Amino acid sequence: MRFDGVIPEDAPDPRLEQARRLELMPIPVMGLVPQPSLEDPDMVGIQYGQDSRGYNEMSASITYTLWRNPADRSDPINLAELDEQTRRSIEDIPPWPRPVWLVEGVQRMRYPQLWEAVRTTWHRDPSERSSPARVLAEHMNHILINRYRRDWPGGIAWDRFAGDARRPPTNREAAVRIDGVEVQGVEIDTDPLVCGVGASLGRGGVVTAVLPRDELGYIRIEFAKRR
């Protein structure tokens, strides 16, 4: 039971429900290959669309914690730059007990998060919108609007990359490694804040990654099936 916004100590971990929903995905969910600088805390964003025939599209987005110095997690280089409001929300401990998963999530806010960095997208019916270039553009637009609005001079247009399907975004072909195999994919490398890569998975699936330029030196961009 929950009173006045207080989550009880025995509240179930929402990641359990997310895991059950992921079972609906018709294709494997992808992530970046395991590497010391990235931690996957099971933070998965799930979206889907339906019509009279059932699910017609689904996506699963993976968020990572970034460790700039994974050999020493106490190194201050690992800390994120926090505004005062976020810092207070971490340091102010309420007088009531909280679920372990909630405490862990709050403490994780101290470190940089690659929010929804890797997305697996499935479309039941092929169309222009299901192409790797279009899926990558929509993913990049989503990241910019939700995470970088304040950083973009003059603001970010809602359709900066997604735009009109008749005018595809600026992209180029790029080699992408998936499960150890190099495939032909696409890259959008024209934004000063983030860069993106994507490739087809077959069976209506596309994998995309949108990553901050400032952190690329810590990340190996290679995909594998997530556990």
Q: What is the pLDDT of residue 159?
A: 54
* Rounded-to-integer distance, Cα 108 and Cα 113, Å: 8
Q: How confident is the model at residue 153 (pLDDT cuts 50, 70, 90)?
A: low
Q: How confident is the model at residue 6 (pLDDT cuts 50, 70, 90)?
A: confident
Q: How confident is the model at residue 1 (pLDDT cuts 50, 70, 90)?
A: very low
| pLDDT mean across residues, the chain | 89
Amino acid at 32: L
pLDDT digits (tens, 9 = 90+) for 157-205: 445 554 444 444 557 899 999 999 999 999 999 889 999 999 999 999 9
Q: Shortest CA distance to 90 belongs to which of 116, 110, 67? A: 110
Output the DSSP codes for the chain. Answer: --BTTBPPTTPPPHHHHHHHHHTT-SSPPEEEPP-TTEEEEEEEEEEEEEETTEEEEEEEEEEEEE-SSTT-TTSGGGPPP--HHHHHHHH---SS---HHHHHHHHHTTS-EEEEEEEEEEESS--GGGSHHHHHHHHHHHHHHHHSGGGSTT---TTSSS--TTSPPS-EEEEEEETTEEEEEEEE---SSEEEEEEEEETTEEEEEEEEGGGGGG----EEE--
Output the DSSP codes for 35-86. Answer: -TTEEEEEEEEEEEEEETTEEEEEEEEEEEEE-SSTT-TTSGGGPPP--HHH
Please state the pTM of the whole predicted model. 0.88
pLDDT digits (tens, 9 = 90+) for 97-137: 999 999 999 999 999 999 999 999 999 999 989 999 999 99
Q: What is the pLDDT of residue 3?
A: 41
What is the Cα gyration radius of the chain?
19
Q: What percent of the chain has pLDDT over 70?
A: 89
